[in-house]
Amino acid sequence: MKIKCILVDDEPLALNLLESYAIQIPNLEVAGKFTHPVKALEFLQTNPVDLLLIDVQMPDLNGLELVTQLSVKPLIIFTTAYSQYAVEGFKVDAVDYLLKPIDLPDFQRAINKATELLELRSTKNTNIETNKEFLFIKSEYKIIRINFGEIIYIQGMSEYVKIHLTGRKPVMSLLSLKALESQLPQNLFMRVHKSYIVNIQKINMIERNEIVYDDGTIIPVSNQYKDAFQAFLDKNFML
């Protein structure tokens, strides 16, 4: 698939090196290159792209600050000479992190990761109606398959979600609970609280408007969702 990108680095030599690598990759189209981050931000506000390759340390506006100001975020690959920014890159859900001096194999590897993620998104958008068994979640720098039947409940945590699973450790992802809810089959999952979605097939006990799990976890059913939850109970209740 064709990927439209822009390159941002305040060092002209570094910017030219990125461009020389980019033109060697057939599916990568450079829509613009910028030595001034403010100019790049202005461009992105009216010209959406698929991928942004950007240096972290720049005057006036650094790469991390620029990314947080975008209302619609492309995929992000950070480039920098300082390895301590890798953690900060994760916080804004970067696809990859390239440490300078960057060589072509590392650049190609990062572009491959971005391509795979974009293809996955495209496939999910076209086939979401027919997929009733699983979804893919981006966690840190990995893409993880999660079967719907594995999910016990999902917890919203500010900008992240924490997906609690049977048989393996929870998976964290930089998603909103609302966005994830739209991808879940409604016959299997129910929102019961502003911070919780539960798999209704995993509910074993309810006590005083609280869902109680075998490990002692208690999830409250809030007033906002109480009527829908009670309707579910009435439909499945036997005297």
Q: The CATH number of the domain where 98 resides is what? A: 3.40.50.2300
159 and 91 part of one domain: no
For residue range 191-228, list pLDDT tens digits in order.
999 999 999 999 989 998 899 998 889 999 999 898 88
122 and 138 part of one domain: no
Letter string b/e over residues 102-123, b meaning 16 or more CB atoms within 10 A of that residue's CB: beeeebeebbebbbebbeeeee
Q: By C-alpha distance, which of 225, 171, 151 is closest to 195?
A: 225
Q: How many CB atoms lie within 10 A of CB 54?
A: 24
What rounded mean pLDDT belongs to the chain? Answer: 86
- Helices and strands in the chain: count of H runs, count of E runs: 7, 15
24 and 110 part of one domain: yes
The CA angle 200-218-208, to the nearest 5 degrees, is: 85
Contact 232, 187 (CB under 8 A): no
Say which residues have a Cβ less than 8 Å from residue 52's Cβ, sequence separation at least 6.
5, 6, 8, 44, 67, 74, 75, 76, 77
Q: By C-alpha distance, which of 201, 163, 158, 168 is closest to 183?
A: 163
155 and 215 part of one domain: yes
For residue range 59-117, list pLDDT tens digits in order.
888 888 888 888 778 999 999 887 665 445 445 568 888 988 999 999 999 999 899 88
194 and 122 part of one domain: no
76 and 39 part of one domain: yes
Query: How many structural domains does the chain have?
Result: 2
Range of the domain at 106: 3-126
Threshold 0.75, pTM exceeds: no
Domain boundary among 126, 154, 179: 126
Rg of the chain over Cα atoms, rounded to whole angstroms, equals: 22
Q: What's the Cα-to-Cα distance from 48 to each of 30, 42, 43, rounded to whole Å?
A: 12, 11, 8
20 and 72 part of one domain: yes
